[in-house]
Structure 1
Amino acid sequence: MSDFDDEPLEPANAKAPKGNAPSTTSDDGWEDDWDEERSSGGRDLTVVYAIIAAAVVIVLVIILTRPKDDNNTQTQTTKPDGTEEPAEVVKNWQGPVSDNVGEKAADVQARVASAPGVYIWTDFWGWHIRSNNTKPVEVTVAADQVRQKATDDYEDADEKDDAFKTEATVTIPAGDGKTGVGFDLGGSESATFTITMDGVNVPASQIFLGGGTGVATANPVVFSKA
């Protein structure tokens, strides 16, 4: 019998000695790697959430600070029934006819006295015509609404509000132009002035507009609002 036969056989179900427990080094390494990956993924999501939040804030700032539409300049008026409608656009007479008039026409009257001619201007009190000439001039005004004023002294208390017509003609006597005639054009948006002397149209170069340097380019003189 050999020496191997003398050794006792261990039972098949014998437990391994405690000191010889299986090594867990390899499994622990995998768990550590997984923990690191999960930790890194959490940091990545935090960055993504931060970027999204910043983008939302930027969009809100743009919306809240965006200027209103500048193209819509019409103001609104409220009707008695509570609804709103665009306010009526205020139009003004174009050209130099209203330039440099001065307080109660002080500046334009100084221009009238400076040289012969026919002078036309408009202001808050209506339309005014003066003639600094040695002969009478005839003025015809055509418009949708026109009426001659009782006086042209910058005092409307004596006006009788006569009915409007579509044409009015007046003769201004010879003189230095200190006095003249006035017209109310009502709601007219255009008007035509024809000035004649001895039945002939006065040269446009002798028709002065406003209190500045304005001069008519034609006779009849056409004015319009815009």
Structure 2
Amino acid sequence: MAVKTLLKVEYDLYNQLIIKSKQKTVFQTIPYLESLVKLGYSFEILGYFVLGELKYALPVQKKKIPFVNRFYYAIPYGIISEAETVDRDVLNQFIKRLKQKGWIINLSLQEKQEIPKFSHPTYHTTLMIDLNETLDLIFDSFSKTHRNCTRKAIKEGVSVRMSRDLNDIDLFIYIYESMLDEKSFDGIKPSLVRDIMAKLIESNFRFFCHCKL
């Protein structure tokens, strides 16, 4: 058993593991990680091999600390694996590997996140929907909050469709910029949002949901 940084030629192994994993988010995909270069982040993917087979993987975002030649690591999401739970020793091996090269490790976007919570499968906050299931089963799997939001959306006439059309990105960015201009919320720069969406469409994760009233 060994932990190492995956080479680019090994990214296919990572993509295959993502497809098999039940705990995953789009923010762990390579196209998304590549798009963060606009924010000054690079990334690396740590792999945990057992008998030569990739069993666990941990994508990390990183920035180099000026004048120190050390990396700051951000890990906003957890470990990719086929297993529903991750052994604590596996997580410790990943952290040990990062500490060999970096000073600061941020386990989440929230401060003071505990390692046990980080390693727990329910830590993943993105809502994942299995489109092979029936609508009733999908709805039953939602939390009470998500069910209430869904009912409200249906009542207000919101419709959702899947799209790979780049023109829909332009429409979304137009609406997004209008909301930013109205200062209704603080958001990510539209140029970064556009780049992320375009890269996801070009990848194996190449569709997004388009909602309208």
Q: TM-score, normalised by structure 1?
A: 0.22
TM-score by length of 2: 0.23
Which is greater in Rg? 1
| Larger proportion of strand | 1
Structure (1 or 2) with the greater helix fraction: 2
